[in-house]
Structure 1
Amino acid sequence: MTEPSGRPARAPKRPRSEGQWALGYHEPLNATERFKRDDDGLRVKERVLDRYAHQGFASIDPSDLRGRFRWYGLYTQRRQGIPGGRTASLSPEELEDEFFMLRVRIPGGSLTTEQLRTIGEVSTQYARDTADITNRHNIQLHWVRIEDVPAIWGRLEAVGLSTTEACGDTPRNMLGCPVAGVAEDEVIDGSAALASLAPYVGDPRFSNLPRKYKTAVSGCAQHCTIHEINDVAFVGVVGPDGEPGFDLWVGGGLSTNPMFGRRVGVFVAADRVADVWVGVTSIFRDYGYRRSRGKARLKFLMADWGPQRFREVLETEYLKEPLPDGVAPQPPTSPYRDHVGIHRQKDGRYYLGLAPRTGRMSGTLLQQVADAAEQHGSGRVATTIEQKLIVLDVPGDRVEALATRLDALGLPSRPSGFRRQVMACSGIEFCKLAIVDTKGRAATVIEELERRLPGWDLPVTININGCPNSCARIQTGDIGLRGQIVTTDEGEPVEGFQITLGGSLTAEVGFGRKVRGLRSTAAELPDYLERVLRRYADQRLPDDSFASWARRVDEAELR
């Protein structure tokens, strides 16, 4: 065949491979895909138990240390004393210490007091009394030695806890409403549906996904699991026939290229959640992009396919049957999605939502909470995805005594607005990617704003992140602070923050607004926050949220 010019016609150009297994592209395209091909991450546990714990840190194979260890919740932590300005210029070997962060997986945030006490005991014995509640229900410990990991695993497993697939290219800890089954206003109790996914944790069929994979299953009327930014989410709705079930959302995620999840348009009955989850996860495994790590999240596949094609592939290739058309969930009725405070349960008892300062706890404090919860409640506690802690099932006549006891421990159930709404990632204290301090800076922000703006009662979230990766969800905070090195007027490089304004995950879902050149040094941050919050309070319309105000005013008002 020839072209009109007489030259031989060129063969059609084959689309560039994105590494999708379903299209026959099995050759690994980057270093991470190669080490996953060479050995399943789940098998590294054998080497920890049989070799590394006995021979020490120096014996650990680099592909295990900086790769497969994540399949069991282990990351090397940052070597102390390395300034943020050197984060991008040093190799992993230079940045890492010979200690680990260990992430304990807590599905739905649900814990018994025995489990909470065990985590606390592990912390005090093996982790220098560290414990941080994360924004995905987990509890993270630091300063863990490889020699102690087998003993820690044994202690956790004895009470039904695990670190399996707490990190890595796996189905990470699955979110659920921490007050499922007791919340007076829930659409559906999602506990059973969430529990139906437990058998797939550690399943080799799903232990090599293109990237991390985040799941949420909740019937909470306030949408406390923030389904909009999970890879796959099942959201409580009343179905077309009047029965409660779930609306399916796919393709959410933040990091450096944030996208909101999209409705697939199907109704999922509670007893079908596991089947549908397996189908969606299998699509990600088989069709997900594996060429570039930066494009390997499910959100990129959804962006290219769209909900209609995604539904078609799900139903025809994986479920082998159609699903009913779905209905959209009702928006949350409260600007708060955190369950902080004292709330009546549907059984007449109460739960107390506590506000640790940015999730910072200690092993000692966890044990004290376990003691208090046992004496005043039923022995049930929960973590939230807002770095908070809940004590459940408290009889009405014990509520105030428990609230007073916990407040004395630094865990208020009636916190200030700033204590309630400031979130921070691990920051430079432990994280190898961070550029600035976050937990300490957040504590200063809370103290300063409580002093400068006493009695503040308007919902405003302040999310502080130590690097661009958005572990603290900076794009969706009313005020998002991304750590960076900034230069003072005197030319000195210091810790600072790029600022975005007006992100929201309430009825006004949207990402924050970037104002050109809007940044602050860490030292000047309280002054800036006070200034912009006072302007909001002075200029807001009766129904204005911070997000709606920040999106409509001139940039000059935001500086």
Structure 2
Amino acid sequence: MSIQLTDKVSEAARRDILDLEKKISTFQSGDIADEAFRKFRLTRGVYGQRQPGVQMIRIKLPHGRITADQLIRIADLSDKYATGNLHATTRQDIQLHFVKLADSPQLWADLEDAGITLKEACGNTVRNVTGSARAGVDPSEPFDITPYAYSIFDYFLRNPICQDMGRKFKISLSSSEKDSAYGYMHDVGLVARIQDGQRGFKVMLGGGLGAQPFSAQTAFEFLEEERVIPFIEGVIRVFDRYGERQKRHKARMKYLLNDIGLEELLRRIDEETPAIKNKAFLVDSSQFSVSDQYAERPEASNYQLTIGPEQSQNSKLSTWFKTNVFEQKQAGWYAVQLRVLLGDMHSDTARALAQIVKQYAADDIRVTVNQGYLLRYIRPENLTAVFEALDALGLAEPGFDTTADITTCPGTDTCNLAISSSYGITRALEQMMHDEFPDLVFNDDIKIKISGCMNGCGQHSVANIGYHGSSLKNGAYVLPALQVLLGGGFNGKGEGLIADKVIKIPAKRGPHSLRFLLRDFEANAFDGEYYSDYYARQGKNYFYQLLKPLADLKTLVDSDYIDWDHTEQYVTEVGIGECASVLIDLVATTLTEASEKLGWAREALTESRWADAIYHAYNVFITGARAALMSRDVPTNTQHGIVSDFDKTFLGEPDFHQAEGDFKTLVFSINKQEPSETFARQFIAQAEAFLQAVQAYRETQIELEGIPELQELTQAQDS
């Protein structure tokens, strides 16, 4: 069945979609290695689930912004191709689960028709750019970061410098000093600031979560707005060049920064300046704003919002007003925040929500970093009607982004890497707090976050109270467990902190642990003391001793061996991997990859995209050199290392006619030259000649040594 593409689908997206369809066919016929196909589909938002034969589709929504019609389109496609569920993520994406691989190209085409992409939602690319959901209406913001977030997303989408990095790369923009987009845990974190009347950003580098979380380091207290995108390009170029590529657990930018230091990183970024496409990039701040159409309120809208007798009698409505509603910086307009359990919304609910937006709010919905939604530009006289409409959908639960509103990843429900159930323990904890600590819907200090494993999709390392899935052995048996982390998130000074691992307990004792922690805080914290400050004051050992009785395996009961939301005995089982072992000629596969990159370079050249053409040609050199080194069984890692090793290994080889350092000088001329047409044509011609020489060398090697043995290739899935 051929893919149906409408005129609304751009040429770039059209080609991506048709290429995905072609690659799926090639893969299913056995003509492409599993690992090569996996790498390809991940950068197109198609991610293998725990359950074999089905995919998770990650929909990339820049800073979580979506229109009512786009929400309807996603809901309709979930019904058609998935399960009718829309899962909001901590990166402000929406995910659909249980999609057949063969359906993914048409699903993508139908999304592009509505202005939505899957491109680079997964894989070793620049992931979704996140931003403060309140941007544009935030009373404390110096300016709206919305156009900046979208411009960064657009600038790096399909950009050659970030198509095949050693690992993923994450960027966030916060609208105020509150850093509500958690810039301190990102590869690049930006916080809006104004200095001497000029817009700009505080810039943080090298944050990250996972098994070894790092807080970002401050590169600039203030960087002028027009320098931000060029600076990020420089960062990505350096990460691409010097970042780890073999040891995946060390391949994030935080490790590169840790290894070479901030001063050296900034020096290398500065070295890239000549090659950068735009030395300055001024964002049109009038783009992507809906505020203009609401600049003047209708005469009838001089309504004063009060909580009258009718609202006071409805305690849920009264609480909802206090916890889920705030007045925007545009006086007289209100925003409404939706608390969504587990981040999951049924397609029928999503369509009904879209109608509420069309009737009462601006056509500008934001998915929030805590898996909820934010509606904006609602008149005060309509708030009660909005509450009633949302309540009928189960979307008016009070306590948005409070202690009672837990952030969680899907865990073992769908993820390959998860060790224990995230959804089950989240439900249990929220129910316990609802029953025993009802006032927590007013507490916006303590944040609770849960992940199904140490990788941190639920962001447990930046929670005041965090949990991640694990397991424990008790003799010959294994039981589901939770690692408890404390002291992360923000303290009273507004500083972002990484949580400490305190103790591991059986998963079924999770509610007891939270009960102990909350009661202890109630009893011993100072008035107004932030939880992370309280944790720091008491110290890690205090909390270890507090929770230690829950770690006693001598008191286990039968139910402790059964995970939340399950009835069968627990078994430690990471789901079927993204790829099984495959037998391939690695050198031939790598040379094919280099040839594809040469084709991209030529195409960019014909379209007068000089900087893109040059970077594609650079990747031809890198990939070709990697293939040559592999043919000699020389291990490869960073791009810089590949160039150095090629210079040494093939010094004086007649196939390449090079003196010591020649190859390095040639390849790294990329950052010594302006991206001109002359240099682009010259560099591509040199890359093509080099690739031909490597191919000829390989053919001669096979003639002399025979056809190489196929090699087994395995790799853990991307996260």
TM-score range, shorter chain: 0.7 to 0.9
Shift in alpha-carbon separation, 1:486–1:58, aligned structure 2, 3 A: farther
Q: 2-side partners of 1:416 and 1:389: how far apart?
A: 10
Q: Shift of the alpha carbon at 1:401?
A: 1.1
SS in 1 for 2:461: helix
Residue of structure 1 aligned with 2:497, choices 510, 514, 518? 510
CA distance in 2, matches of 1:417, 1:344: 16
Matching residue within 462, 466, 475 for 2:461: 475
Change (3 A) 1:417 1:279: closer
* TM-superposed deviation, 1:417: 7.2
Letter in 1 for 2:376: L
Q: Is contact 2:205-2:219 (8 Å) kept? A: yes
Q: Show CA shifts across 1:455-500 (max 9, x none).
A: 2243322211111111111122111112112246x97422221112
Mapped pair 1:550 → 2:535? yes
Distance 1:232 1:310 in 2: 13
Q: What corresponds to 2:168 in structure 1? A: 212
Identify which range, 366-375 or 491-500, moves more after superposition: 491-500
Change in 2 beyond 3 A, CA 1:418/1:206: closer
Distance 2:114 2:23 in 1: 25
Could you tell me which residue of structure 2 aligns to residue 376 of structure 1? 360
- Contact residue 175 and residue 225 of structure 1 kept, 8 A: yes
Q: Which amino acid aligns with 1:279?
A: G
Whether contact under 8 Å (2:411, 2:452) holds in the other structure is yes
Which residue of structure 1 lines up, in the alignment, with residue 420 of structure 2?
Answer: 436
Offset, 1:52: 2.3
Residues of 1 paired with 2:24 and 2:269: CA distance? 42
- Evaluate the alpha carbon distance shift between residue 52 and residue 316 of structure 1 in structure 2; reply closer, same or farther with a 3 A threshold: closer
Quote the residue 2:438 is aligned against: 454
TM-score (norm 2): 0.63
Match of residue 281, structure 1, among 236, 252, 259: 236
* CA deviation map 1:17-50 (0-9, x unaligned): xxxxxxxxxxxxxxxxxxxxxxxxx997544323
Asked if residue 534 in structure 1 is aligned to residue 534 in structure 2, the reply is: no
How far 1:147 moved relative to its partner?
Answer: 2.0
Question: Could you say which residue in structure 1 is the equivalent of 2:56?
Answer: 101
> How far apart in 1 are the matches of 2:454 and 2:133?
29
AA in 1 matched with 2:382: R
The structure carrying a bigger helix percent of its residues is: 2
Equivalent AA in structure 1 for residue 485 of structure 2: T
CA distance in 2, matches of 1:419, 1:410: 19
Distance of 1:454 and 1:445 partners within structure 2: 12
Per the normalisation by structure 1, the TM-score is 0.81
Q: Which runs of 5+ in 2 are unaligned?
A: 1-13, 281-321, 549-719
Query: Which residue number in structure 2 is paired with residue 501 of structure 1?
Result: 486
* Counterpart contact for 1:265–1:307, Cα < 8 Å: no
- C-alpha contact 1:105 1:166 (8 A) present in aligned 2: yes
Contact 2:405 2:430 in 1 (8 A): no
Distance 1:301 1:462 in 2: 30
SS for the counterpart of 1:117 is helix
1:11 aligned residue? none
Partner of 1:225: 181
CA positional deviation for 1:376: 0.9
The one-letter code of the counterpart of 1:447 is Q
Change (3 A) 1:51 1:170: closer
Identity percentage of aligned residues: 27
**Is the 1:504–1:511 contact (alpha carbons within 8 Å) kept by the matching residues of 2?**
yes
207-216 or 286-295, larger mean C-alpha shift: 286-295
Q: Which moved more, 1:150-159 or 1:411-420?
A: 411-420
For 1:495 and 1:252, how far apart are their aligned partners in 2? 30
Aligned counterpart, 1:127: 82
Alignment of 1:157-556 (within 5 A): 157-197=112-152, 198-239=154-195, 241-265=196-220, 267-318=222-273, 341-347=324-330, 348-412=332-396, 414-415=398-399, 420-456=404-440, 457-458=442-443, 459-487=445-473, 492-506=477-491, 507-515=494-502, 518-553=503-538, 554=542, 555-556=544-545
Q: Deviations over 1:331-382 (max 9, x none)?
A: xxxxxxxx97211122231111111012122222221211111111122211
Shift of 1:221: 4.0
| AA aligned opposite 1:465 | S
Q: Which amino acid aligns with 2:81?
A: Y
The secondary structure found in structure 1 opposite 2:370 is coil
Please tell me the residue identity of whatever aligns with 1:362.
Answer: H
* 1:419 Cα offset (Å): 6.7
What is the number of residues matched between the two proteins? Answer: 482
Structure 1 counterpart of 2:466, one-letter code: G
Distance 1:154 1:340, change over 3 A: farther
Higher Cα radius of gyration: 2
**Shift in CA distance, 44/292, structure 1 to aligned 2, threshold 3 Å:** farther
Distance change (3 Å), C-alpha of 1:340 and 1:59: farther
**CA distance in 2: counterparts of 1:523 and 1:400, whole angstroms:** 40
| CA distance in 1 between partners of 2:82 and 2:194 (Å) | 45
Q: Which moved more, 1:164-173 or 1:55-64?
A: 55-64
Contact preservation (8 Å) 1:53, 1:149: no
CA contact (8 A) 2:411 2:418 kept: yes
Unaligned regions of 5+ residues in structure 1, if any?
1-41, 80-96, 325-338
- The DSSP-based 3-state class of the residue aligned with 2:129 is coil
1: distance between equivalents of 2:397 and 2:35? Answer: 44
1:147 matched to 2:132: no
